[in-house]
Structure 1
């Protein structure tokens, strides 16, 4: 599949904001009939431009929780150390996201725990597991301000008409 065109971008924007939209409504919103819209959707999925469909869960309505970001630095900067750390991250459900970084820190982890004590026990367990953490810095989220936004597709594709 070549790069996405304007109609594909329209489909992606609608789905990023409303993943549960019906195929008929999606077609209407992007100015297509259902069959061409469905075919485009299937191509976007096959090309892995659309990776998955997910629900955003309001954790506050489920159970008490705390979200913590952790900037982590590894002691050893070898490919094997990075691989071992990344493999270990995959094994922990409390780590809901992890990004490898360029610059000062090696990784940024997003951790969800029941409370600060639960978080600290988890970090202590990670340190005892000897995953190669040299230092880590904890940032507790006090309130969400913005998350799960729709990516600025036109801006990324260089559309001069895209405004911020």
Structure 2
């Protein structure tokens, strides 16, 4: 399932041990990453056992992955159903103008809006894809109206209301490793 190593470029390695411009990950590093995506609170001793290492070498690998910026943070997966009704909407955004300052203005404006939980700059017919989470569709409409009146360059938007989650999984570490 896991290849012998995985290669990350310098930009993604974040100052980690780099050989010939690349950060090397072996099978155990990949297994650590895979386990942590599913079980972020796993005790270090249990993690070491699962990857067939003693605790100290496992801890050293974990620390190296953290220092390299490959492990960005630890968190909990929260059940939206348990919190009550939540509307999830994907929004395509097209800007009026495509100068560097136009993109910067838009990105700065949405950075602190908590309902916009993800924003991706994309190529193709649109400029951005947003994932928005609000209590209901009325709250979503108010948010859109605020974006349109904020004069941040939104030319057009398309909304896609999520009716049912189908798949939401951690990163496919094993598949990514095959590309190295």
Structure 2 residue ranges without an equivalent (≥5): 1-16, 18-22
Q: Which moved more, 1:39-48 or 1:2-11?
A: 2-11
Partner-residue secondary structure (3-state), 1:38: helix
Structure 1: distance between partners of 2:126 and 2:97: 12
Structure 2: distance between partners of 1:94 and 1:159: 34
Cα offsets for 1:68-93 (capped at 9, x unmatched): 00011111101111111111111100
Q: CA RMSD in A?
A: 1.4
Structure 1: distance between partners of 2:110 and 2:72: 20
Count of aligned residue pairs for this structure pair: 159
Structure 2: distance between partners of 1:68 and 1:151: 22
Which of 114, 122, 141 is equivalent to 2:162?
A: 141
Structure 1 residue ranges without an equivalent (≥5): none
Instruction: Tell me how far 1:151 sits from its aligned partner.
Output: 1.8
The equivalences for 1:74-93 within 5 A come to: 74-93=95-114
Query: In the alignment, which residue of structure 2 is the partner of 1:59?
Result: 80
Q: Which runs of 4+ in 1 moved over 6 A?
A: none
Q: TM-score, normalised by structure 1?
A: 0.92
Structure 2: distance between partners of 1:50 and 1:90: 22
Which of 60, 66, 75 is equivalent to 1:45?
A: 66
